[in-house]
Structure 1
Amino acid sequence: MNFGKFCRIFVVVMLLLPVTNIQSQNIILPNAYAHNDYWHKRPLLDALDNGFTYVEADVYLKNGKLIVTHILPYFKNKKTLEKLYLKPLLQYVTDNAKSDNPVNCPLTLMIDIKTDGDKTYKVLNVLLQKYRSILSEYQNGEITMRNVSVVITGHRPYNMFTGEADRLAFLDEDLKQAGNDSSTNIYQVASCKYSSMVKWKGKGKISEKDVQRLEYFVLQAHKSGRKVRLWGSPDKTKVWNELLRCNVDLINTDKINTLRSFLTNEIPVVAKRL
């Protein structure tokens, strides 16, 4: 390759790079849910760069600290909830506000509590106070939405929530119980395991029974203002299509790049259900 041709290619690449970065930063995917987000090379940041609006972290209470990990941390672990998520979220919100082209993108941090719900929440509540300025809150009967909403799943401290007049977190409801609890200030999401709701694994055609069952519970959740998620769903585009057709709000995945491509139509959708 001669020098002149190299220079022309270099200039074209340099011109395209900023456009690509800007486009990726402005992508917002309201259906994208990063399950086990902390497994990625850059927890939180990889999800944000791909336009995800929901990220999930498993949390254990260990020696007074909230540790992010998939299994009980018997050894010293420096991956705390504050270090991996809360501090970076504060920085993200601050930087976005100063940007010439700020992105209006509310985010939800799903915290999957793996230890005792009440004990863990007590520690979590103290920590969240440090980040009140960016967190959605419930106070004296009113909900104020801000840049980041914290939703607790796993071992949920339901009894503590019902007695609080001021809090910075919400709960994840059991989707199969949707419609049974009329509370309007406790839940923001309704979830359940995919296999407990749908038997179809992505091969062949989904049964009408599965569709009707899922659509019924989605409708109940939506009537109460909850977003719907099925965790443990197969990471297949065919399954994602069916979930969206049944009005499931959040697509749960460990494969953030693949889901991003799917939701931005970089991966062709399958044919409509017959």
Structure 2
Amino acid sequence: MRKILRGWLLLAALCFCTTAAAQRPMLIHSHNDYNQRAPFWQAYAQQVYSIEADVFLHKGQLLVGHDTEDLSPDMTFESLYVEPLVTLFKRNGGRAWKGSDEHLQLMIELKSKTEPALKAVAAVLDRYPGVFDPAVNPHAVRIAVTGRVPAPADFAKYPAYIRFDGEWDVDYTPAQLERVALVSADFGRFSQWNGKGSIIASELEKLEAVIDRAHALGKPVRFWGAPEGVTVYYTFYNMGVDYINTDHLEVCAGFFSDFGNKNFQIGERRTAAGGVTGTKRLDKTTRDFRGFQNDKLQLSKGVGIYTPTYKNDGKEGKIKNVIYLIGDGMGLTQVVAAAYANKGLTMLQMKYIGLQQNNALDAFTTDSAAGGSALATG
């Protein structure tokens, strides 16, 4: 159910198109973006969906930083985020990315008193309606305010293009819900999971309650303060979380950029159909294998496994023939991956299995022909 809800959310609420970044199964949020080596530009280069800036109204200036002691007069909200976006929209014909209808979200975390800080932010953004107001430009940057969010009853006091970070356990009126961009929650409030192994059942139940409630409101969900890593990415995807909060942009974006190739499952309908590129690299024999679905890089059903009888073990007699098959791409990683996908392999049913290590003289990975020759000659 969470998968279906999330699919509709991404299609209807976020208007995704068929660009490479849009095929990512989760929205990537550049958390504390101003701490990156190149604020804004680093996240923009990875074509993430959402970029976050913590903003203080300090001595009449909108400054970006996590704490007041971090503030610097040259780290202004305008110079770091507004001006680059205005320049890009001019260059890209009124879009975040040239030739793409994909949206970009700028999440502004208010660190100062709500009303004066938000009015100052609005005063800056109001100068560029073609960049920040979807009523003027349907490709405009989406603005989402988090942190010191105004009370829902006060949402209407601010320009319509400004939307807000919602809470999962608040009962919003229909008008207030229209102003909610997403639902965010503190991960640590529900779970102590460190990203290793599995989330314990009782904590998982609490997290799923948040996800279900957000989706029932028709909003995507984000957990902040959550761990990171491959296990987290897969777990959150399976749970139906819509946003990945990341401090490691390149790693996270790289992981999800070819997510379709990371989900080889036989006969499973949830296997990603989009973003699969592996079949283009397969040889003709593999592509024509019976039951292989070229468009999804998967088998419709598993390959049958033969279990030997071992009835000739220990007997003496003349060996008539020895058939020696040399397979390409038969490293331990590939064999284990195939065994997991197919739920077993005939070759692993043998009583005796040997391993041979072969290293090239001038390369880290040996060539197929050299490896085959080493196997054939013993």
Q: TM-score range by the shorter chain?
A: 0.7 to 0.9
Match of 1:214 in 2: 207
Q: Which has the higher contact order (CA 8 A, sep 6+)?
A: 1
Correspondences of 1:176-195 after superposition (within 5 Å)? 177=169, 180-182=171-173, 183-195=176-188
CA distance in 1, matches of 2:146, 2:251: 25
Correspondences of 1:1-274 after superposition (within 5 Å)? 27-28=21-22, 29=24, 31-73=27-69, 76-97=72-93, 102-136=99-133, 145-158=138-151, 161-164=154-157, 166-175=159-168, 177=169, 180-182=171-173, 183-265=176-258
1:101/1:120 CA distance change after superposition, 3 Å:
closer
1:78/1:235 CA distance change after superposition, 3 Å:
same
Bigger mean CA deviation after superposition, 192-201 or 80-89: 192-201
Q: What is the CA distance between 1:212 and its match in structure 2?
A: 2.5
Q: What is the CA distance between 1:98 and its match in structure 2?
A: 7.5
CA distance in 2, matches of 1:233, 1:73: 25
Q: What is the CA distance between 1:208 and its match in structure 2?
A: 2.5
CA distance in 2, matches of 1:169, 1:98: 19
What SS class does the counterpart of residue 178 from structure 2 fall into?
coil
What does the per-residue CA deviation read over 1:19-78, in whole Å, with 9 as the maximum and x for residues that have no partner? xxxxxx953455111001111122111111112010001111111111011110476521
Letter of the 1:72 counterpart: T
* Contact 1:132-1:168 within 8 A present in 2 as well: no
TM-score with structure 1 setting the length: 0.78
TM-score with structure 2 setting the length: 0.58
Gaps of 5+ in 1: 1-24
Max Rg structure: 2
Q: What is the CA distance between 1:242 and its match in structure 2?
A: 1.0
**Which 4+ stretches in 1 moved above 4 angstroms?**
73-76, 98-101, 266-272
CA distance in 1, matches of 2:158, 2:112: 24
1:107/1:212 CA distance change after superposition, 3 Å:
same
Letter of the 1:210 counterpart: E
What does the per-residue CA deviation read over 1:131-156, in whole Å, with 9 as the maximum and x for residues that have no partner? 21122458xxxx98542111111111
CA distance in 2, matches of 1:48, 1:144: 20
What does the per-residue CA deviation read over 1:168-207, in whole Å, with 9 as the maximum and x for residues that have no partner? 31110123x25x2233322111111111122322222222
1:144/1:102 CA distance change after superposition, 3 Å:
closer
Gaps of 5+ in 2: 1-18, 264-336, 342-378
Letter of the 1:236 counterpart: G
CA distance in 2, matches of 1:107, 1:45: 13
CA distance in 1, matches of 2:71, 2:209: 45
1:144/1:217 CA distance change after superposition, 3 Å:
farther
How many residue pairs were aligned? 242
1:235/1:213 CA distance change after superposition, 3 Å:
same
Identity %, equivalent residues: 24
Letter of the 2:29 counterpart: Y
CA distance in 2, matches of 1:212, 1:62: 42
1:159/1:194 CA distance change after superposition, 3 Å:
closer
What SS class does the counterpart of residue 97 from structure 1 fall into?
coil
CA distance in 1, matches of 2:20, 2:164: 29
Letter of the 1:27 counterpart: A
* Contact 1:105-1:147 within 8 A present in 2 as well: no
* Contact 2:64-2:71 within 8 A present in 1 as well: no
Bigger mean CA deviation after superposition, 201-210 or 46-55: 201-210
CA distance in 1, matches of 2:196, 2:114: 38
CA distance in 2, matches of 1:264, 1:35: 19
* Contact 1:32-1:52 within 8 A present in 2 as well: yes
Q: What is the CA distance between 1:119 and its match in structure 2?
A: 1.4
Q: What is the CA distance between 1:210 and its match in structure 2?
A: 2.6
Match of 2:321 in 1: none
